[in-house]
Chains A and B, each alone.
Chain A
Amino acid sequence: MLKIKSLSLDILNGSGDISILKNIDLELENDKFYALTGPNGGGKTSLARVIMGIYKNTQGKLYLDDTDITDFNITERAKAGISYAFQNPPRFKGLKVRDLLKISSNGGHETAYARLRAVGLCPQDYLDRECDSSLSGGEIKRIELATVLSRPSKVVIYDEPEAGVDLWSFEKLLGLIKKYHSRGGVTSIVITHHEKVLTLADEIILMADGEIKERGSRDKIWNMLQGDFRCRWQQDCGGDEDELECY
């Protein structure tokens, strides 16, 4: 179980502190499959990065199975069983797919091979490829997923696993995420803008403006997304859908 208490995140930029996450309280249970959704810039990735320890929260506490992990660094959190599949995975010059998977599976070559197959990439073709900019967007996302699925985890956050992945493969990858989840003892959190994922989740968490706006079933959240949250960007800027013109 992952518990987040009164958590906030301020980031210092040129014009002073900006508040990215505001007073977040969240309890996420074992064996539950969550979808985290909401408008762009709502704070989903920031929350994931705080959970992973990449961003240090300004206030509040985090607990993993009653262990206070607030002061754990990234490595310690990884070892405690938290995993995060990046929204934009970094690329590495000189590092082979094989090397990266070996690190994530703690040295196991067998696992590397099997994980690559599982995400639909032929090991023969990809094990010796460099993880640099020569990989396509969808390929790097799949390898990212493979690195996370090679590890034993208690909490896994997938940041938009659908992004860049083709229609046919996405179904399969989602199946894989589900399968990993069903090993038991795992809390899965999928950050997504994809309706299909919302349908599969046990519970949906809606985030906007750095806050948790609502939690609940697909139907409940779906109605909110269709209502209040529809076209919110146009309203914020004082425009409407009719403003879109062809030039």
Chain B
Amino acid sequence: MNLNAIDSELLKTIADLHTIPTGAFNIRKDGRGVERKSTAHIQVKPKTDKPGIDIIVAPGTKNEAVHIPVLITLSGVTDVVYNTIEIGEGADVTVVAGCGIHNPGSEKSQHDGIHEIIVRKGARMKYVEKHYGEGEGTGERVLNPRTILIMEKDSSVEMELTQIKGVDSTVRDTKAKLAEGASLIIVERLLTHNRQKAESDMLIELEGERSSARIVSRSVAKDDSIQIFRPVVVAKAASKGHVECDSIIMDRGKISSSPAISAEHPDAQLTHEAAIGKIAEEQLIKLETLGLSEKEAEDVILRGFLQ
């Protein structure tokens, strides 16, 4: 596959890829799979009944990564894709997903990624997903990821979900079910600007004893953008959960955060916190006393906050 300059830039931004990856991968562009590779332990194959792929990581696979970036470089594309990822027993792998839209025209370009992820007994997965939009056109850039995560006994998952910038509208829906001893960390970072709108719903169900989840959402709403967060953790067993939403609001932005916890077992331990506020004045002042301009100081604080 030949990557043009736009493809390369997008890949670099959403997947830290500078060339075609060495391990297993699948690159999807403008609604079609353009290239893929399986390795000895990681199988990547297209679905036969609907658009999308199955990724099967063999039990015990260690220190391998699979990249599954999605690129949209045309205006007026609506791409719906179903991916199933199975991480075999005792494996320890990284999955780098992500979607970059370069919309050059005036029509809407949209990607709806529906992921079903099963993490088998004792397996570990790090899941990194970056969303990014750009393009000189006026067409909307829309990303609606839907993720269903099934975690078996003693599995562990760390998810980093990031929306860097340039996505006009996003509705995220993340659901997870955790069995005994499973542990989940989700870190969501979101920046919206202009008239963008971002909604994120999460439902994390702690079904097994000793399971634990920690959900951290950090966001910045600039200009006239709107953000809505509704993370919910439900404990159905003796388990632990924590939800945290921390947002910086700027300009005429609007943010609504409603983390919720619900316990259905007397030994559940759940906490939540939410904060929305402007950049603390003293932080700006401190950086200005070190010689930064107000704008530079603001950038440093926002970058740090979303890091």
A→B interface (CB under 8 Å): 52, 54, 73-75, 78-79, 83-84, 86, 89-90, 92-96, 99, 103-104, 106, 147, 151
Smallest distance from the beta carbon of A221 to chain B beta carbons, Å? 28
A90 x B286 contact (CB < 8 A): yes
B304 x A95 contact (CB < 8 A): yes
Complex alpha-carbon distance, A142 and B246, angstroms: 28
Complex alpha-carbon distance, A95 and B290, angstroms: 15
B300 x A75 contact (CB < 8 A): no
Q: Other CB < 8 Å A-B pairs besides A78-B288, A90-B280, A95-B301, 15 of them?
A: A52-B289, A54-B285, A73-B288, A75-B292, A75-B293, A78-B289, A79-B291, A83-B289, A94-B218, A94-B307, A95-B300, A103-B287, A103-B290, A103-B291, A151-B291
Q: CB-defined interface of B260-280 with A at 8 Å, one 1/0 digit per residue?
A: 000000000000000000001
- The residues of B that contact A79 with a CB separation of less than 8 Å are 291
A75 x B294 contact (CB < 8 A): yes
Q: Which of B246, B289, B292 has the most CB of A within 10 A?
A: B289
Smallest distance from the beta carbon of B188 to chain A beta carbons, Å? 14
- The residues of A that contact B300 with a CB separation of less than 8 Å are 95, 99, 103
- The residues of A that contact B286 with a CB separation of less than 8 Å are 86, 89-90
Complex alpha-carbon distance, A123 and B289, angstroms: 23
The 7 residue pairs across chains A and B that have the minimum distance between CB atoms? A94-B304, A90-B282, A95-B304, A74-B288, A78-B291, A94-B305, A104-B290
A93 x B304 contact (CB < 8 A): yes
Cβ-based interface call for B106 (8 A) = no
Cβ-based interface call for B138 (8 A) = no
Smallest distance from the beta carbon of B219 to chain A beta carbons, Å? 13
Complex alpha-carbon distance, A52 and B303, angstroms: 26
Task: Find A93's partner among B246, B282, B289 (CB 8 Å cutoff).
Answer: B246
Q: Which of B280, B292, B293, B304 has the most CB of A within 10 A?
A: B304
B290 x A94 contact (CB < 8 A): no
Complex alpha-carbon distance, A94 and B288, angstroms: 18
Task: Find B288's partner among A75, A92, A96, A106 (CB 8 Å cutoff).
Answer: A75
Complex alpha-carbon distance, A151 and B304, angstroms: 22
Cβ-based interface call for B39 (8 A) = no
Smallest distance from the beta carbon of A104 to chain B beta carbons, Å? 5
Q: Which of A89, A96, A103 has the most CB of B within 10 A?
A: A103
Question: Whose C-beta in chain B lies nearest to the C-beta of A95?
Answer: B304
Question: Whose C-beta in chain A lies nearest to the C-beta of B286?
Answer: A90
Complex alpha-carbon distance, A106 and B296, angstroms: 13
Task: Find A92's partner among B246, B283, B291, B292 (CB 8 Å cutoff).
Answer: B283
Question: Whose C-beta in chain B lies nearest to the C-beta of A104?
Answer: B290
Complex alpha-carbon distance, A84 and B289, angstroms: 7
Cβ-based interface call for B306 (8 A) = yes
Question: Whose C-beta in chain B lies nearest to the C-beta of A106?
Answer: B291
- The residues of B that contact A84 with a CB separation of less than 8 Å are 289
Smallest distance from the beta carbon of A52 to chain B beta carbons, Å? 6
Task: Find A74's partner among B289, B303, B304, B305 (CB 8 Å cutoff).
Answer: B289
Smallest distance from the beta carbon of B181 to chain A beta carbons, Å? 28
A74 x B285 contact (CB < 8 A): yes
- The residues of B that contact A83 with a CB separation of less than 8 Å are 289
Complex alpha-carbon distance, A83 and B280, angstroms: 20
B288 x A90 contact (CB < 8 A): no
- The residues of B that contact A73 with a CB separation of less than 8 Å are 288
Smallest distance from the beta carbon of B250 to chain A beta carbons, Å? 15
Question: Whose C-beta in chain B lies nearest to the C-beta of A82?
Answer: B289
Q: Which of A54, A74, A79, A104 has the most CB of B within 10 A?
A: A74
Question: Whose C-beta in chain B lies nearest to the C-beta of A93?
Answer: B305
Could you write out 29 A-B pairs with CB less than 8 Å apart?
A: A52-B289, A54-B285, A73-B288, A74-B288, A75-B288, A75-B291, A75-B292, A75-B293, A75-B294, A78-B288, A78-B290, A78-B291, A86-B282, A86-B286, A90-B280, A90-B282, A92-B283, A92-B301, A92-B304, A93-B246, A94-B303, A94-B304, A94-B306, A95-B301, A99-B300, A103-B292, A103-B300, A104-B290, A147-B290
Complex alpha-carbon distance, A48 and B275, angstroms: 32
Complex alpha-carbon distance, A79 and B290, angstroms: 8
Complex alpha-carbon distance, A93 and B248, angstroms: 11
